[in-house]
Structure 1
Protein backbone atom coordinates (compact mmCIF):
# COMPACT_ATOMS: atom_id res chain seq x y z
CA UNK A 1 0.00 0.00 0.00
CA UNK A 2 1.14 3.52 -0.69
CA UNK A 3 1.48 6.16 2.01
CA UNK A 4 -1.63 7.90 0.67
CA UNK A 5 -3.62 4.66 0.94
CA UNK A 6 -2.39 4.05 4.48
CA UNK A 7 -3.30 7.57 5.57
CA UNK A 8 -6.75 7.21 4.01
CA UNK A 9 -7.21 3.94 5.90
CA UNK A 10 -6.20 5.61 9.16
CA UNK A 11 -8.62 8.47 8.44
CA UNK A 12 -11.47 5.98 7.92
CA UNK A 13 -10.61 4.30 11.22
CA UNK A 14 -10.67 7.67 12.97
CA UNK A 15 -14.06 8.43 11.43
CA UNK A 16 -15.32 5.09 12.79
CA UNK A 17 -13.86 5.98 16.18
CA UNK A 18 -15.72 9.31 16.19
CA UNK A 19 -18.99 7.59 15.32
CA UNK A 20 -18.44 5.04 18.11
CA UNK A 21 -17.62 7.81 20.58
CA UNK A 22 -20.83 9.59 19.62
CA UNK A 23 -22.84 6.46 20.42
CA UNK A 24 -20.98 6.03 23.73
CA UNK A 25 -21.68 9.64 24.67
CA UNK A 26 -25.40 9.05 24.16
CA UNK A 27 -25.27 6.08 26.53
CA UNK A 28 -22.81 7.37 29.13
CA UNK A 29 -23.24 11.10 28.87
CA UNK A 30 -20.60 13.60 27.84
CA UNK A 31 -19.95 15.22 31.20
CA UNK A 32 -17.60 12.64 32.67
CA UNK A 33 -13.86 13.20 32.79
CA UNK A 34 -13.15 9.89 31.07
CA UNK A 35 -15.37 10.68 28.09
CA UNK A 36 -13.89 14.14 27.70
CA UNK A 37 -10.37 12.69 27.79
CA UNK A 38 -11.17 10.08 25.15
CA UNK A 39 -12.83 12.73 22.95
CA UNK A 40 -9.79 15.03 23.37
CA UNK A 41 -7.37 12.19 22.58
CA UNK A 42 -9.33 11.32 19.46
CA UNK A 43 -9.14 14.97 18.42
CA UNK A 44 -5.38 14.95 18.90
CA UNK A 45 -5.13 11.83 16.75
CA UNK A 46 -7.14 13.52 14.02
CA UNK A 47 -4.84 16.56 14.12
CA UNK A 48 -1.73 14.35 14.04
CA UNK A 49 -2.98 12.43 11.01
CA UNK A 50 -3.68 15.74 9.25
CA UNK A 51 -0.09 16.81 9.96
CA UNK A 52 1.20 13.50 8.61
CA UNK A 53 -0.91 13.93 5.48
CA UNK A 54 0.52 17.44 4.95
CA UNK A 55 4.07 16.21 5.50
CA UNK A 56 3.62 13.33 3.06
CA UNK A 57 2.17 15.66 0.43
CA UNK A 58 5.04 18.15 0.69
CA UNK A 59 7.34 17.89 -2.34
CA UNK A 60 10.49 18.13 -0.21
CA UNK A 61 9.50 15.23 2.04
CA UNK A 62 12.64 13.25 2.82
CA UNK A 63 14.87 15.57 0.79
CA UNK A 64 18.12 16.67 2.40
CA UNK A 65 18.81 20.41 2.49
CA UNK A 66 21.33 21.84 0.06
CA UNK A 67 24.91 21.84 1.32
CA UNK A 68 26.70 25.13 1.85
CA UNK A 69 30.32 25.30 0.75
CA UNK A 70 32.69 26.96 3.23
CA UNK A 71 35.86 28.40 1.81
CA UNK A 72 39.26 27.26 3.10
CA UNK A 73 40.65 30.77 2.64
CA UNK A 74 41.67 32.46 5.91
CA UNK A 75 39.27 34.96 7.45
CA UNK A 76 39.98 38.68 7.31
CA UNK A 77 41.69 39.38 10.67
CA UNK A 78 40.20 42.89 10.80
CA UNK A 79 36.88 41.22 11.65
CA UNK A 80 38.27 40.23 15.05
CA UNK A 81 40.08 43.40 16.18
CA UNK A 82 37.35 44.52 18.57
CA UNK A 83 36.78 41.19 20.32
CA UNK A 84 38.55 39.26 23.04
CA UNK A 85 39.60 35.67 22.69
CA UNK A 86 36.78 33.94 24.48
CA UNK A 87 37.94 32.22 27.61
CA UNK A 88 41.48 33.51 27.25
CA UNK A 89 41.00 37.15 28.20
CA UNK A 90 42.29 40.17 26.32
CA UNK A 91 45.56 39.92 24.38
CA UNK A 92 47.39 42.60 26.36
CA UNK A 93 46.40 41.32 29.83
CA UNK A 94 47.43 38.31 31.86
CA UNK A 95 45.13 35.83 33.55
CA UNK A 96 44.97 36.12 37.35
Structure 2
Protein backbone atom coordinates (compact mmCIF):
# COMPACT_ATOMS: atom_id res chain seq x y z
CA UNK A 1 0.00 0.00 0.00
CA UNK A 2 1.42 3.31 -1.09
CA UNK A 3 -0.35 5.13 1.72
CA UNK A 4 1.29 3.10 4.47
CA UNK A 5 4.80 3.54 3.06
CA UNK A 6 4.34 7.31 2.93
CA UNK A 7 2.73 7.39 6.38
CA UNK A 8 5.83 5.92 8.03
CA UNK A 9 7.72 9.11 7.15
CA UNK A 10 5.12 11.75 8.05
CA UNK A 11 3.77 13.20 11.34
CA UNK A 12 0.41 11.78 12.46
CA UNK A 13 -1.53 15.05 12.35
CA UNK A 14 -0.29 16.04 8.88
CA UNK A 15 -3.03 15.85 6.22
CA UNK A 16 -2.68 13.29 3.47
CA UNK A 17 -1.42 14.76 0.19
CA UNK A 18 -4.12 15.11 -2.47
CA UNK A 19 -3.02 12.07 -4.49
CA UNK A 20 -2.95 9.88 -1.38
CA UNK A 21 -6.31 11.24 -0.25
CA UNK A 22 -7.80 10.16 -3.58
CA UNK A 23 -6.29 6.67 -3.21
CA UNK A 24 -7.47 6.43 0.40
CA UNK A 25 -11.01 7.52 -0.53
CA UNK A 26 -11.05 4.92 -3.31
CA UNK A 27 -9.95 2.18 -0.88
CA UNK A 28 -12.63 3.10 1.64
CA UNK A 29 -15.25 3.21 -1.12
CA UNK A 30 -14.32 -0.28 -2.37
CA UNK A 31 -14.31 -1.65 1.18
CA UNK A 32 -17.70 -0.10 1.97
CA UNK A 33 -19.20 -1.50 -1.23
CA UNK A 34 -17.77 -4.91 -0.34
CA UNK A 35 -19.53 -4.98 3.01
CA UNK A 36 -22.72 -3.33 1.80
CA UNK A 37 -22.40 -0.16 3.87
CA UNK A 38 -21.84 3.49 3.12
CA UNK A 39 -18.32 4.92 3.43
CA UNK A 40 -19.64 7.32 6.09
CA UNK A 41 -20.80 4.35 8.15
CA UNK A 42 -17.34 2.79 7.88
CA UNK A 43 -15.82 6.04 9.16
CA UNK A 44 -18.30 6.18 12.04
CA UNK A 45 -17.33 2.67 13.12
CA UNK A 46 -13.59 3.06 12.53
CA UNK A 47 -12.90 6.52 13.96
CA UNK A 48 -16.21 7.78 15.32
CA UNK A 49 -16.31 10.37 12.56
CA UNK A 50 -19.02 12.98 12.68
CA UNK A 51 -21.75 12.95 10.05
CA UNK A 52 -20.55 14.74 6.96
CA UNK A 53 -16.89 13.81 7.34
CA UNK A 54 -16.95 11.58 4.26
CA UNK A 55 -18.62 14.25 2.13
CA UNK A 56 -16.11 16.85 3.32
CA UNK A 57 -13.18 14.59 2.40
CA UNK A 58 -14.66 13.81 -1.03
CA UNK A 59 -15.32 17.50 -1.71
CA UNK A 60 -11.83 18.52 -0.48
CA UNK A 61 -13.34 20.73 2.24
CA UNK A 62 -11.17 18.84 4.72
CA UNK A 63 -8.61 16.07 4.57
CA UNK A 64 -7.94 13.01 6.66
CA UNK A 65 -4.80 13.24 8.73
CA UNK A 66 -2.35 10.36 8.74
CA UNK A 67 -3.47 9.17 12.16
CA UNK A 68 -7.13 9.02 11.12
CA UNK A 69 -6.29 7.36 7.83
CA UNK A 70 -4.21 4.73 9.62
CA UNK A 71 -7.03 4.06 12.08
CA UNK A 72 -9.50 3.56 9.22
CA UNK A 73 -7.06 1.26 7.40
CA UNK A 74 -6.45 -0.68 10.63
CA UNK A 75 -10.21 -1.12 11.05
CA UNK A 76 -10.50 -2.35 7.48
CA UNK A 77 -7.64 -4.83 8.00
CA UNK A 78 -9.18 -6.08 11.26
CA UNK A 79 -12.58 -6.53 9.58
CA UNK A 80 -11.84 -7.91 6.10
CA UNK A 81 -14.53 -7.84 3.44
CA UNK A 82 -14.50 -11.62 3.09
CA UNK A 83 -15.32 -12.03 6.80
CA UNK A 84 -18.05 -9.38 6.83
CA UNK A 85 -19.72 -10.25 3.54
CA UNK A 86 -20.30 -13.90 4.35
CA UNK A 87 -23.68 -14.71 5.88
CA UNK A 88 -23.47 -16.12 9.35
CA UNK A 89 -23.98 -19.86 9.29
CA UNK A 90 -25.82 -21.59 12.06
CA UNK A 91 -24.83 -25.17 12.68
CA UNK A 92 -27.84 -27.39 12.99
CA UNK A 93 -27.37 -30.25 15.41
TM-score by length of 1: 0.28
Rg bigger for which structure?
1
Q: Using CA pairs below 8 Å that are at least 6 residues apart, which structure has the higher relative contact order?
A: 2
Normalised by the size of structure 2, how large is the TM-score? Answer: 0.28
